[in-house]
Homo-oligomer: A and B are copies of this chain.
Amino acid sequence: MEQREFCPVHAAIQVLQEKWVLHIVRTLLEGPRGFNDLSRSVGGINPATLAVRLERLERMGLVSKTVHSYMPPRTTYALTEAGVALHDVINSIDAWGRRFIRVGAEGEPVCGGVRQPSEPAASH
């Protein structure tokens, strides 16, 4: 598509904006997991989609797949060094989210300014 010079930020965003990728990375930062375990931890992801994402992430070198046994099937997915390095990205997203995201009236996320002490905190 684009023939302009290679821009690392642009490329990084292209990877990270793919649906579920950040969720997958965040989950794997807690430790290696098997396919179904990962699926459950991420929550709501389709196995077909997860398989496609994991294959892409593995080809990119963000995730490493280890097959312990074919039958019974036993596999673990873990982050590579480049994947673990996304810790900083997740951390800054975390900080931003904690500071700016609240739940709106209809459950939709809303970004406010700095938290006012007067405003009620969303609590369940």
Contacts and interface: CB of A to CB of B under 8 A. Distances in A.
Interface stretch (A20-28, A30-38, A65-73): A20-28
* Identical copies of this chain, number: 2
Contacts of A116: none
A82 to B, nearest CB: 4
Interface residues of A, number: 61
A1 B121 CA distance: 21
Given A17-B16, A85-B100, A93-B16, A10 B111 contact: no
Interface in A61-111: 61-62, 80-83, 85-86, 88-101, 103, 108-111
A60 interface: yes
A78 to B, nearest CB: 14
A8 interface: yes
Contact of A82 (B11, B60, B103, B113): B113
A111 B13 contact: no
Interface of A: 1-2, 4-23, 26, 43-44, 59-62, 80-83, 85-86, 88-101, 103, 108-114, 121-124
